[in-house]
């Protein structure tokens, strides 16, 4: 049996630091490692999607910290490959309602080139409701 600690979502995605997280906007710096790439040193699309999705979620939390964002729909368009090294995911809220918001985001390389763009429809659920459901799910096992 190993003493290894399971990675958190942030470490699994290669998060380096949060650059901005306020008033419906977020920017997060990630380190794309070779282990995140497939042939030719290109980051697997799931990581690109995850990086932008996390930035959009942070943007919604920045507006409403008492709510938990749950993706209802997520669309990503890939323009250029992300390669090993630093990338920046940006997310912002385009429109917000009481229970739903619409977010957009993009992934940039260090030179500011847009590698991918995304849009998301996010359901906002009270954080205490989500945490109570998670506790019940763990105790029911």
Using an 8 Å Cβ cutoff, are 103 and 92 in contact? yes
Selecting from 3.40.50.620, 3.30.70.100, 3.10.129.10, 3.40.710.10, what CATH number does the domain 11-139 have? 3.10.129.10
Name residues of the chain where pLDDT drops below 50. none
Residue 19 pLDDT = 93
d(CA 137, CA 139): 6
Residue 6 pLDDT = 75
């Amino acid at each position: 049996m190993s003493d290894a600690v399971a990675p958190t979502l942030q470490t699994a995605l290669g998060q380096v630091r949060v650059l901005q997280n306020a008033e419906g906007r977020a920017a997060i710096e990630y380190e794309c490692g070779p282990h995140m790439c497939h042939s030719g040193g290109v980051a697997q699309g799931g990581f690109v999607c995850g990086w932008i999705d996390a930035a959009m979620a942070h943007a919604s939390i920045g507006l409403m910290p008492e709510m938990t964002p749950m993706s209802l729909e997520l669309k990503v368009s890939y323009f250029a490959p992300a390669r090993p090294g630093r990338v920046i995911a940006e997310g912002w809220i385009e429109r917000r309602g009481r229970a739903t918001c619409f977010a957009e985001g993009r992934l940039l390389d260090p030179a500011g080139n847009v590698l991918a763009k995304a849009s998301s429809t996010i359901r906002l659920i009270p954080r205490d409701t989500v945490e109570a459901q998670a506790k019940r799910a763990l105790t029911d096992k």
